[in-house]
Structure 1
Amino acid sequence: MHLPAISNIAQTIQLAIAPVFLLAGIGAFLNVLTGRLARIVDRSRLLADLHGATTGDEHDRHVEELRLIDRRIALVNAAISFNVASAIAICLLVALLFVTQLAGLAYRVAVALSFILAMALLVTGLVLFLIEINLAIRGLRVREELLERDRAGKRR
């Protein structure tokens, strides 16, 4: 078996640097997503504890927020899954760069498809994250009765 020249391996390492930086960015983004998921789960536990202790309009607000939280959990979980899949595709891309170099295989199409797949998965994860953020913002609207003014014209 003929081993590639050092210069070819060095070139492959240079080609692998950009995907590795992308991998680091995805790792940081996964950290953000898992932090959001933890906060959402904490809020759901608090509301679950309050669920049985409330009645009337307050109880209905808790149920509505729990439904919203359930959807947010699903969105963040899906975003995490797509970003992990993207990271895996990038790892496979880096491995593919080296395997094809060592084996002397034509790799342009396979590498390009791996990169396109990784980007599609990443974009999907980012879009899901954006949807979750918009859902969270809609759920954080301040209730009108809390914004009412008292008799002196000051907000309560």
Structure 2
Amino acid sequence: MAFPPYAADPDAVDSAAHLIQVALTPVFMLSGIGTLINVFNTRLARVSDHLEDVSRRLAGTVSDTATTDPYYTPEKLLSHEKRLHRRIFVLDLAILMNAIGGASTCGAAIALFVGSLRDTTTSTWLLALFGIALGCTVAALMFFLADTMLSWHGLKRDGAMPRPLTTK
């Protein structure tokens, strides 16, 4: 069975190809945002578990061994608890920014499709929503960097990181 002759308007094909390319951008953006939210939520869960452990130690509910660990002094635990609260706050902001970025990406996709269905120009909305999505994703990554810096600072301050070797 032979295909019927195909005589398509090259402009219509180019327009459809461009629409498909533009429509795929939000899909990839949403996929990346979803992955980042998953990473941030996993990290938040670990920090929350750590905070719970520190709170139990401060309350004295963890069974103490005969030897006392200098790391678990009340002063260090209180300092660590404060740092963990800061980290939770920063990770909450990262997740919030990423969620706003995801919602803006969905809004950009909706603006794209509404514009193509009605043959109207929605480029201002499309660019604004996609710009918000990118800005929020960058902000989320900056908050994640802040959490990482808080974590590194805590490890360094508590002496858990090895000191660099010096040569004489």
Give TM-score, length-normalised by structure 1. 0.82
Residues 19-78 of structure 1 deviation map (CA, whole Å, 9 limit, x = unaligned)? 211110111111110010000000000001000228997011000000000000000000
Q: CA deviation at 1:16?
A: 1.2
Q: Is the 8 A contact 2:155 2:161 kept in 1?
A: no
Alpha-carbon distance in 1 for matches of 2:131, 2:78: 41
Bigger radius of gyration among the two: 2
For 1:23-62, list aligned pairs within 5 A: 23-53=30-60, 58-62=73-77
**Which stretch shows the higher mean deviation, 46-55 or 75-84?**
46-55
Alpha-carbon distance in 1 for matches of 2:32, 2:94: 15
Distance of aligned partners of 1:129 and 1:146 in 2 relative to their CA distance in 1, 3 Å threshold: closer
Residues 99-122 of structure 1 deviation map (CA, whole Å, 9 limit, x = unaligned)? 011111112221111111111111
Q: Is the 8 A contact 1:9 1:101 kept in 2?
A: no
2:35 is equivalent to residue 20 of structure 1: no
Q: Is the 8 A contact 1:16 1:97 kept in 2?
A: yes
2:129 paired residue number:
114
Letter in 2 for 1:141: K
Distance of aligned partners of 1:143 and 1:10 in 2 relative to their CA distance in 1, 3 Å threshold: closer
Letter in 1 for 2:82: R
1:135 paired residue number:
150
Runs of 4+ in 1 over 6 A off after TM superposition: 54-57
**Which stretch shows the higher mean deviation, 84-93 or 135-144?**
135-144
Segments of structure 1 that go 5 or more residues without pairing to the other structure are: 1-5, 148-156
Distance of aligned partners of 1:146 and 1:71 in 2 relative to their CA distance in 1, 3 Å threshold: closer
Alpha-carbon distance in 2 for matches of 1:49, 1:31: 27
Instruction: Give identity over the alignment, percent.
Output: 27
- Between the two proteins, the alignment pairs up a number of residues equal to 142
Distance of aligned partners of 1:28 and 1:61 in 2 relative to their CA distance in 1, 3 Å threshold: same
Q: CA deviation at 1:13?
A: 2.9
